[in-house]
Amino acid sequence: SLFCVLLIRLDLLRIKISIKLCPFKIHIVYFRIPFMKTKLKNIALALIDICCFFNSKQKYRFKYKEQNKGDIYILTSGPSLSETFETLSEDFFVNKECCFVNDMAQLSFYTKIKPLYYAMADPCYWVDENKTNESDIIARTKTFEALISKTNWDMILFVHKDAFKSSSFLSNFSKNKKIRLIPITLYDLKTRLHSFQNFTYKFNYAAPSANVLCMTLFCCLNMGYKQIIVFGADHSWLPDIRINDKN
C-alpha cells in the first residue's frame, strides 16, 4: 500500500480522517492555513465530506424517483399519540398515506392503518446482542416478529445504512418480501456550502443525523410530499435541553 500524509488544520477547527482507497491508504491528519476565510474553509470541508463518502463505500443510496404531491401522516410513539386517538379514531388514518416508527408494529392498530412507510434509526435494532442490553433485545425481537408476521401489504422500511452490515437484521426481513428495505445515509455534513448540502441531501449521499423523526421528515420531504402531519412527536430530549427552569 501507498501511504500519503496530508496535514490539515483549519483555524481552530481540527479534523482527523482516515481514508482507505484500495490499493492506496490515505491518512488525513492536520495542516495549518492561517487566516482562512469562511468560504475557503467550507470548500475544504466539502472536500473532506466527499472523502468521507468514498470511505463509507456508498453502495447504499436510495434515489427518490417517485414524487408525491399529497399529504402524509407520520405517527410516532410519544405519549401524546394516545390523546390523538381520543380525538381522532383509528379509521381516520385508514386509506391514508402513513409512516410508523420504531416499535409501533406491536400496536393493535398497525394492521388496520397499514402504513406505507416505516422507519428505524436507532442502532439498538441491528447492533450485536453483546453490544446492547437485554431489554432492547427483547423489544426489537417483538418488533421484528410483528413486522414480519403482520405485514401483508407492500411497505417501505427506511433504515440507517449501517443496518445493512448486520446479517441477522437482513435475514429477519428476508422472510417477508412485502417489506422493502431502503438505506438512509445519516451523516452530519461539516461544510456549510448550501449548494453542496442540497446536492447531497437530494441524492441521498447524506441526511441530517438526529433521531428517527428527523430522518422520517427528511425522507418525506425528499419524496415530494406537500403537507406532512405529525402525531405523537413529543420526546424527552426536548424538555431536557434547558439551562434552568426559565429556559
* Residue 10 and residue 41 in contact, taking contact as beta carbons nearer than 8 Å: yes
pLDDT on residue 42: 66
pTM: 0.72
% of the chain exceeding 90 in pLDDT:
28
Whether the predicted pLDDT of 58 surpasses 80: no
- Residue from 143, 185, 177 nearest 161 by CA: 185
Which cell numbers hold the place of 127? Answer: 447492533
Q: Give the pLDDT confidence score for residue 12 in this predicted structure.
A: 39
CB 190 within 8 A of CB 50: no
Per-residue pLDDT at 241: 64
Task: Tell me the C-alpha distance between 97 and 39, whole Å.
Answer: 42
Cell of 136: 432492547
Predicted local distance difference test score (pLDDT) of residue 53: 57
The 3-state DSSP class for residue 20 equals strand
